[in-house]
Structure formats: C-alpha cells, structure tokens
A and B are shown apart, each in its own frame.
Chain A
Amino acid sequence: MSVASDDLTKPVPPKRRLALKPHLIQDKIFYGIARSAAVGAVLIVALILGYLLFMSWDTLAQQGPAFVFGSQWSAADPENLVFQIGPMLWGSLLIAVNGMLLAVPMAIAAAYFIEFLANSKIAKIATMVVDLLAAIPSIVIGLWGVGVFTPVAAHWAKLLNENLGFIPFFNNTSGSFVNSPFIAGWVVAVMIVPIITSVTREIFSQLDRDVINAATALGASRSSTFMKVILPTSSGGIVGGALLGLGRALGETVAIFFVLNLSFEINWVEVVESRGGSIASMIVSFFGAASPEEVKALIAAGLVLFVITLLINWLAAVIVAKAQPWRK
C-alpha cells in the first residue's frame, strides 16, 4: 500500500495566509485590549505632537527662521511681539556638549575599570552604585550643584581663566564665575555619567571574552587590546549610550535652572562667563508670568527641543542597531 505524492504535474493549489483569528469572545477581548493599548499609545504621541505643532504654528509663522536664529525675547509690546530662542537653543547645545566632553571619557574609564581592572567584589558594588545613581532625580543633582559643587567649580573656572584665559573658551570679562555654562555642563555631566557608564559597562560585559583572551594570548598588551579590540567592537554601543545621555542633557530642566544665569545675549563659547541659555530652563522660568501669546512661543521652543531630542534618539537607535546587529 505504498503511496507517494511524486506527481509534479499536478498544479499547486492556491495559498491561504493563516492568521491568528480569535474565535472565543474572551480571546477577542484579550487581543482587543492589546490592540487598543497600541492605538492609545499612537494617539498619545499623535496628540502631543499635533497639539504642539498646532499651538506653535502662529509663533513659527510670525517669527519665521529668526525664531531659531535671532536673540531677542520681548512680550512687552503686544503690537510687536518678538520671540527668538537663538541664545537658549545654542546654550542648550553648549551645555550638553560641555557635559558630554566631560561625561564620555569618565564613563568609558569607569566602565573599563569595572569590567576589566577591578576585582569582582568591587565591580559588583560599583555596578550597583552606578545603576542606583542613574536613577537619582535631577533635582537632587541640582541641589548638590547649588549647595556643594558651585563654589568648587567656580574656583576651577577661575583657575582656568587665570592660567588659560588667552583661549577664548576661558575668557571672562565680568569677574563672576558662578551660574556659568561651565558649571551647568559639570552638573549635567554628573547627571548623565551613570547612564552612559551603565550602557557602556553592559556592552563591555557582552564582549566575547574569548576574543579578548585570544588577543592577549597573541601577545597584545592591555592598551592595544583596548584600542584595537575592545573599543572598535563596542564603539557603536558607546555612541548610542552617549547619545542617550545627550538627549537627557538637552531636556534637563531644574538642575540647570538653579546653576545657570539665563541671558538673551548669545554666549558663543565663553563657558566660564556667568551667562548662558537653556530652552528647558527658560520654559520653567517664563511660563508662570507668560501671556497667551508667550505661552505659544514657549510651546514652539519646546517643540524645537523635542524635535532635536527625537533626531538624537533616532540617530542613537540607528547607530546601535548598525553596530550591534546581533542584538535584535
């Protein structure tokens, strides 16, 4: 009774796509809840973006490109409203870059120390502390910035100015060293160092130990293993973690609010000067006394900030996915 289906002349019957189709009413509810959650999440994002766009429209149309590039903010004359966030936007970027320049080397060093130098007991404790510190609210860091760090950092800033004042970065004509982008940058760095360290350490720990051991077995020194094996394989992840920190740094509000003197006179690079800008801090300082028109302008500023953060996060996702194809 041997039967075989060897007849290849028979036409292939039409294909049916099989999909999960719930028959039970409970299953329909189950999938319905999941689907409505997805719709809800999409709606939240659409609502926020749509509303921000809608409210910003007047300001953006009225002010034009000067909204982003100009440096004047005046709601005094209702006939001639001028809302330009140039110094604030530049200030946000300046502080964020400042923070990144400090935080990234510190984070890489700390992650390398935890994963490759420290013994397992110290590494375990350090990992726990770093993860805990990543969750410290930014207002606490702001409090520390005001109460503890400002005098120290102002002292450092003064030293930099006295010894390296010929470099434009450390130029200071006002004689005041507090409330500067330099201090805000440090505070932001302290805030994001645990985040970047956490990501970097995680990536270091996922590296294939065999590859590292193989490099060592081939006679590579510690430094050449680090430069030629560890850094190249984990660079994508580190950049992703750093950009994640950058996103947080740009959106930081209250910690910067207390350690920065907001000024609409643009401060290009003089980081130790006592004036700077930050979109997020500006929103918190201005919203209470703002006229309806000014609120719209603040929303437009918030939208600009959101779009920049979105771009950075998207870039981070792309870089991480590119550099670590095995993670998805």
Chain B
Amino acid sequence: MTNLEIANAHLRSEDVNVWFGERHVLRDVSLTFPVNQVTALIGPSGCGKSTFIRTLNRMHELIPGAGFAGKVFFNDQDIYNPEVDPITVRLKIGMVFQKPNPFPTMSIRENVLSGLKLSGRRGYNADEIVETSLRRASIWNEAKDRLSDPATSLSGGQQQRLCIARSLAMEPDVILMDEPCSALDPGSTRRIEETIVELSESMTIVIVTHNMQQAQRVADQTAFFLAEDGMPGRVVEFGKTEDVFNRPTDPRTNDYVNGHFG
C-alpha cells in the first residue's frame, strides 16, 4: 500500500467483529477504501460480506441482538463512537439494497427527493436535483416524461437505478451496494455496472457481489471473505482486483475465483 492511498483513504475499518446474539459472524476485518475507487466484496454465501457492508453505515444495529467490536473510520473519525449520531453517518454514506425498494406511495420524482425530505433539508432546487440525480444514475431518459408516475410502475432494473438516484440526490461521499444486481436481468445488470463505473469517477463505492465477472469488470480492488466450518467469517485476501483474480496468494482464494467451490 502506498502512502498516497492511505492519505486518500477516507473510509477504513479496523478489526471489525460482528455478532448476532451469541453467534460470532465476522472476525477482525480491516479494510481500506480509497477515494473514488470501487471495492468489491466477494465470497461464498454466509461468509458475512453483506453483514460487513451494513456495518459501514451503521445499518447493522437495526437488527435486534446486534453486537459489534472494532472501529470504522470515516474522515479519521470513528463512526462507532457513542457520540456519533448514526443519521449523520448515513447522510454521507448511502446504501443501495439487494431488492429494489422504491417507496410505493411516492412518485418517481418524490422518490428522488425523498431523502432530502426525510432528512428535513430545505432550500434546494428540486428540479435540478431530480434531473442531475436521474442523469447520474442513467435513468433520466426513461423517466423524464413520467416523473409523476408511481415508482412501482418502473421495471425492476429501472427501480434499482431509481434507488441509486435516490441515494445520489443526498450527495454522499460513499455508496454501499449490497448485491444490487442479484434480482435483475442481464441487460439491467450491464447498465448498472456502467453506472457504477461512471460514478466511481466522483465517489467511493463498495459493492457486495456474488458474480466474479462483475467484480472483475467494475472493481479496482477486491476483498475475499470466507467462513470456514462454523468459524466467524474473515478476510482471506485483499488487494488489487487483478492480483486477487490472477495472482492470489492464498490457495483458498485461488480455488474460489477459479470456481472450485462456493
């Protein structure tokens, strides 16, 4: 790791441990997410990668019985410091979920603006924000003539891009994506991948994915998670995507990326 990268790393985790009730599911995860880079989290089901991504903006604590240890630094501040209000964290670190979840009672336009309304922001130029957000999520052309239609009238892939636009409207520094394409068809998946690549010019992205081609297509760096025999999940390998896939140092990574298990 070069010094430059550390200087730019405004989001990093340090020895993150996670429990559900008494079950220890993640152990000592320390990852660094450099500015304007895409990091993919890969690994077999149940290895804790989705759980980990939820700790990065304190969504993890919404699950009853959630336990935590370690630190997550955002701009050199530990977001798990008891003084920190999780709401302020989530304003800066947005999230897109596995299943598209636009608010069904709102129109497309209202969905884009929902974050601003929900966080009580005032004095913004609504039309401009709607257009830029939808453009950045590359759904403007499909949605511009039907902004007042209910969000549920969109197709699954469009709904997911609307959810990305909804996050972008908040102008976060980081976007976390938890398997954003797992419920979508290949065409929609490709468009979202293109969106991710475009967005990474201006923001940091962390993406959980089951799809190893997807990780190779979009990610600058990749972390491989693995949970062995009832042990908590750990990071087995973390590095440049190219290295992880082509020159893995750990034999288990090699097995996984070449499809020998999982």
Contacts and interface: CB of A to CB of B under 8 A. Distances in A.
Given A1-B240, A3-B238, A18 B60 contact: yes
A215 B30 CA distance: 56
Contacts of B85: 23-24
Bin chain A's interface residue count.
Answer: 20 to 34
B126 to A, nearest CB: 23
Interface in A1-16: 1-7, 10, 12-16
A18 B243 contact: no
B28 A20 contact: no
Given A14-B69, A15-B67, A20-B62, A4 B250 contact: yes
A17 interface: yes
Given A2-B239, A5-B28, A15 B68 contact: yes
B67 A16 contact: yes
A23 B234 CA distance: 32
Contacts of B239: 1-3
A12 B27 contact: yes
Contacts of B249: 2, 4
A83 to B, nearest CB: 50
B243 A7 contact: no
Given A12-B17, A13-B15, A5 B234 contact: yes
Nearest to B63: A18
B42 interface: no
A289 interface: no
Contacts of A4: 234-238, 249-250
Contacts of B87: 23-24
Interface string A7-46: 1001011111111110110000000000000000000000
Most chain A beta-carbon neighbours within 10 Å: one of B29, B60, B236, B244: B236
Interface in B235-262: 235-240, 243-244, 249-250
Contacts of A24: 85, 87
Nearest to A7: B28
A248 to B, nearest CB: 35
Given A13-B69, A14-B69, A24-B87, A2 B60 contact: no
A267 B82 CA distance: 69
Contacts of B15: 5, 13
Contacts of B19: 15
Q: Is the interface of A mostly helix, strand, loop or mixed?
A: loop
Nearest to B71: A13
A18 B67 contact: yes
Contacts of B234: 4-6
Contact of B28 (A1, A2, A10, A21): A10
A24 B91 CA distance: 14
Contacts of B243: 1-2
A5 B235 CA distance: 6
Contacts of B238: 2-4
Contacts of A17: 66-67
Contacts of B28: 5, 7, 10, 12
Contact of A5 (B1, B27, B60, B80): B27
B61 A18 contact: yes
Contacts of A18: 60-61, 66-68
Contacts of B236: 4, 6
A16 B69 contact: yes
Interface string B64-104: 00111110000000001010011100000000000000000
Contacts of A5: 15, 27-30, 234-235
B24 interface: yes
A10 B69 CA distance: 14
B69 A2 contact: no
Contacts of A6: 234, 236, 250
Given A2-B238, A4-B238, A5-B30, A12 B61 contact: no
A290 B70 CA distance: 70
B79 to A, nearest CB: 12
Given A1-B1, A5-B234, A7-B28, A16 B68 contact: yes
A13 B24 CA distance: 12
Contact of B70 (A1, A7, A13): A13
Nearest to B120: A26
Nearest to A18: B61
B237 A2 contact: yes
A54 B85 CA distance: 48
Given A6-B236, A23-B87, A24-B85, A15 B66 contact: no
B146 to A, nearest CB: 34
B237 A12 contact: no
A16 B80 CA distance: 10
Interface in A34-74: none
A26 to B, nearest CB: 9
**When A and B form their complex, which 3 residue pairs have the shortest distance between CB atoms, in order from nearest?**
A18-B61, A23-B85, A13-B69
Interface of A: 1-7, 10, 12-21, 23-24
Given A4-B250, A15-B68, 5 more contacts: A2-B244, A3-B1, A17-B66, A18-B67, A20-B61
Interface of B: 1, 15, 17, 19, 24, 27-30, 60-62, 66-70, 80, 82, 85-87, 234-240, 243-244, 249-250
10 contacts: A2-B238, A2-B239, A4-B250, A5-B27, A5-B30, A6-B234, A12-B17, A16-B80, A17-B67, A18-B68
